[in-house]
Amino acid sequence: MPRIYLDHASSMPVDNRVLEFAKPYLSSSHGNPSSLHSVGLEAKRAMEDARTKIADLIHAENESTIIFTGSATEANNLAVRGIGLRNIAQGKEVVVSAIEHMSVLNPMKELQKNGFSFTTVPVDSTGIVDLKKLETTLTKNTVLTSVMYANNEIGTIEPIRQISTIVHEKGMYLHVDAVAAAGRIPIDVQKDGIDLLTLSSNDLYGPQGAGALYVKPGVKLQSVLLGGGQERGLRSGTENVFAIAGMGEAARIAQQEMQQESSRLIPIRDKLIKEILKIDQSYLTGHPTQRLPHHASFRFSYIEGESILLNMDMYDIQVSTGSACSSKTLEPSHVLLAIGLKHEQAHGSMVLTLGRSTTMDDVQPVSKATYETVQRLRKLSPMSQEWRK
């Protein structure tokens, strides 16, 4: 059986069109963008072209709002720590949803060492942020609130415009991690009322090694990586021109093909959900309808997620899990705990994220492999044997 790759939220293959576009920046166009000679200026033009394409994808005011980083994790750190430290005189409170990525949660915890208070806002059982709790949590001292556009683990899309209204009525700045959403659903930072927004190259079918942070005009940040002053002094270090050029081209293709690709994937996603939920003691995680078009996530009683992943890989089907093995800790996913699952329930998750290679023909073999995997593991599970008694 040919490989079926369903872990696009973890890493996307570089689109061949992107690779062909960016390949010259590994060979002939190898200049440093800070150099003033012709080869350096060629690299500089490639970066500015990419900046424009990414600004267009998210409907930013102009290309100067885009700051390139080495990853989405770095962009999240720049947003959180940069806003907190730069605006410390205005307030020392930061607020975050309970299901944010660790690259947002940990920098906020780090700010506590500088005297900041750090508050998490709960979500409901589908992963939607509690807007009433958010409203009562924010104060005039809240310098930054961070809520992701959509969650990479359960696929739930947040009501960003409503969140933005609350944040700007009560606090100061809104940061949105859009890594999981960008290229899959339309994003308009101006209409959405977003002050800072994080993007990832590899999550747009671009090369690894590049990320970007949108910074709304007028928003002030403090640099967290000091050096030669590249990227408006906010992110020093020689830029990865190959990855940045590729990210720009990937953003252009995503914008052009997003609507058609999402419409193609939704029926495949829904068919997978329908077939897999036929398995006894299986449950959908995340919002049933307000979810990413390429995302299907489940939990299965009495078995472990890492065992599901490894067994599915024996069928040459690559999936993800929100349980211990994927997070490299002994704890279950904080996202699954936040939506109200018990520890033993949160351990049995499987996440399928579809991509450009996914077709309706994949539904039957994936559903069959999932059924066989769950049955096999339950036969070996002490929890399942106890339940059957």
Which listed residue (325, 356, 371, 372) is catalytic?
325
Show the tokens assigned to 229.
């002053």
Same domain, 89 and 71: yes
Domain harbouring 52, CATH code:
3.40.640.10
The two beta strands, 173-177 and 196-200, are parallel
If DSSP codes are grouped into helix, strand and coil, which group holds residue 368? helix
Same domain, 123 and 234: yes
Same domain, 288 and 322: yes
Reply yes or no on whether 384 is catalytic. no
Same domain, 118 and 191: yes
Same domain, 231 and 312: no
Same domain, 280 and 306: yes
Same domain, 298 and 167: no
Q: Contact at 8 Å (CB) between 174 and 147?
A: yes
Q: How many domains does the chain have?
A: 2
CA angle (14 as vertex; 11, 16 as ends), nearest 5: 155
At 26, the pLDDT band (50, 70, 90 cuts) reads confident
Same domain, 129 and 264: no
Same domain, 193 and 220: yes
Task: State residue 326's pLDDT score.
Answer: 46
DSSP per residue over 127-160, as a string?
S-B-HHHHHHH--TTEEEEE--SB-TTT-BBP-H
Domain final position from 253, 270, 297: 253
Domain final position from 208, 227, 253: 253
Same domain, 159 and 197: yes
- Average pLDDT value over all residues in the chain: 92
**What's the average model confidence in pLDDT over 189-203?**
98
Which domain, by its residues, includes 263?
Answer: 4-11+258-388
3-state secondary structure 193-223: CCCEEEEECHHHCCCCCCEEEEECCCCCCCC
Task: State residue 74's pLDDT score.
Answer: 96
**What's the average model confidence in pLDDT over 64-77?**
96
DSSP per residue over 266-286, as a string?
HHHHHHHHHHHTTSTTEEE-S
Task: State residue 322's pLDDT score.
Answer: 74
Same domain, 227 and 285: no
Rounded (10°) angle between helices 102-111 and 72-86: 30
CA angle (85 as vertex; 172, 145 as ends), nearest 5: 35
Longest dimension (CA), the chain: 77
At 328, the pLDDT band (50, 70, 90 cuts) reads low
Cα–Cα distance, 384 to 293 (Å, whole number): 33
Same domain, 246 and 291: no
Domain final position from 234, 253, 272: 253
pLDDT tens digit sequence for 226-276: 888 888 878 888 889 999 999 999 999 999 999 999 999 999 999 999 999
Decide if pLDDT at 17 tops 50: yes
Domain harbouring 266, CATH code:
3.90.1150.10
Buried b (16+ CB within 10 A) or exposed e, 159-187: ebeebbebbeebbbbbbbbbbbbbbbbbb
Cα–Cα distance, 216 to 196 (Å, whole number): 6
At 29, the pLDDT band (50, 70, 90 cuts) reads confident
Task: State residue 37's pLDDT score.
Answer: 85
Residue 343: how many CB atoms within 10 A of its CB? 11
